[in-house]
Structure 1
């Protein structure tokens, strides 16, 4: 299956930098030109997607709320 189109506008191409494995969920750090994007996904998905450091990926971000704090 290949994706022909998607409605997610926030897309960050990058490479997996680090994976912190957990028994149920894992933390995946993706290095992008904009900086590090971190995702928490199931450890099963990490295995199914064949994720490992150096693998090229696209982080798709779709959020209904973005909070902003004044510094």
Structure 2
């Protein structure tokens, strides 16, 4: 599958917590860093996402904020 998003982070699923319609998926992307995605529980089920799976987290954002 080809995507227009350029921010593709490969990593390992650390945890999946499902609560009703939504799920929180934490992916470790290296050097102790992680990214958390909130996706539908249906997507978790359809993709068969489980802790330990290797996945790609694709980030498509129109805005990034930095605070100091």
Q: Determine which structure has more spread, i.e. the larger CA radius of gyration.
A: 1
TM range (shorter): over 0.9
Query: TM-score by structure 1 length?
Result: 0.89
| Alignment counterpart, residue 62 of structure 2, candidates 61, 64, 67 | 64
Query: How many aligned positions are there?
Result: 67
Q: Which has the higher strand share?
A: 2
Q: Which runs of 5+ in 1 are unaligned?
A: none
Q: Distance in 2 between matches of 1:6 and 1:39?
A: 18
Q: CA deviation at 1:45?
A: 0.4
What's the RMSD between the two structures over aligned residues? 0.9
Large movers: runs of 4+ above 6 Å: none
Query: TM-score by structure 2 length?
Result: 0.92
Q: Which runs of 5+ in 2 are unaligned?
A: none
Q: Distance in 2 between matches of 1:40 and 1:6?
A: 20
